[in-house]
Amino acid sequence: MNNYDEIKKLLKSSRNLLEKKNSMSNIRETYLSKGLMVEQDTNTSFTTNLGEPRPNVAKDTEKEIYQETKPKEDKQQAYRISGGILVMHGKSKTDLEITTEDKRAFQETMDEFVDEVSEMVDFYPLNAYSTSVEWSGKVIDQDLEFLYSIGENNGVYINGTLSRVDDEFLEFVSKLRAYYQKFKTKWAKVLASRKKTQIGQDEE
């Protein structure tokens, strides 16, 4: 095949393509003129038959993902009370404030633990959230850590390395469990009181 035949073939192919393009354009014009198709402005959203905008699924999904991955950040404020640390967690300034009752409850909690469970204890911060409380520490003479939790993960947890299970250990665990009930009752009341206070402030 010489160059002339090749050029001729290319011209024929391009004419065929143009005819197809023109025929598609003709079909489009026919649809538009008969009202079977409506041109949509790309700057406006599609509307339903009732004139309400159709949901932009891609945009809405993106917004939901952003809200799920970027929730309103949790803030915290720590207070030193008689050698212990009380940390309030929340999303607003009022969530982080403490009352005289909160301070008293925290002081009583530490004092009662020393009286009823063990004197040799190093307390970690008590963390108070809107619906839960977590408090932990290390009992030095038993060489183990404890965690009290009320809320979603209710219970008493201990963490130690190769603790000897003797009468002294069993007595300690029994005291630890017994005091948890008092701790749970006290801090459940604190949470309920804080919730009432916040609801009252929201209504004002």
Task: Say if residue 90 is in the same domain as residue 152.
Answer: yes
Task: Say if residue 89 is in the same domain as residue 2.
Answer: no
Task: Say if residue 183 is in the same domain as residue 100.
Answer: yes
| pLDDT value at residue 132 | 92
End-to-end Cα, the chain, rounded Å: 91
Task: Say if residue 91 is in the same domain as residue 2.
Answer: no
| pLDDT value at residue 195 | 81
Predicted TM-score (pTM) of the model is: 0.60
Task: Say if residue 104 is in the same domain as residue 157.
Answer: yes
Type of residue at 102: D
| pLDDT value at residue 164 | 81
Whether the CA torsion 96, 123, 182, 152 is positive or negative: it is positive
| pLDDT value at residue 149 | 95
Type of residue at 183: F
* Residue 18 belongs to domain spanning: 1-40
The tens digit of pLDDT for each residue in 179-191 reads 999 999 999 999 9
Sheet containing strand 84-90, edge to edge, reads: 75-81, 84-90, 121-128, 133-139, 144-150, 155-160
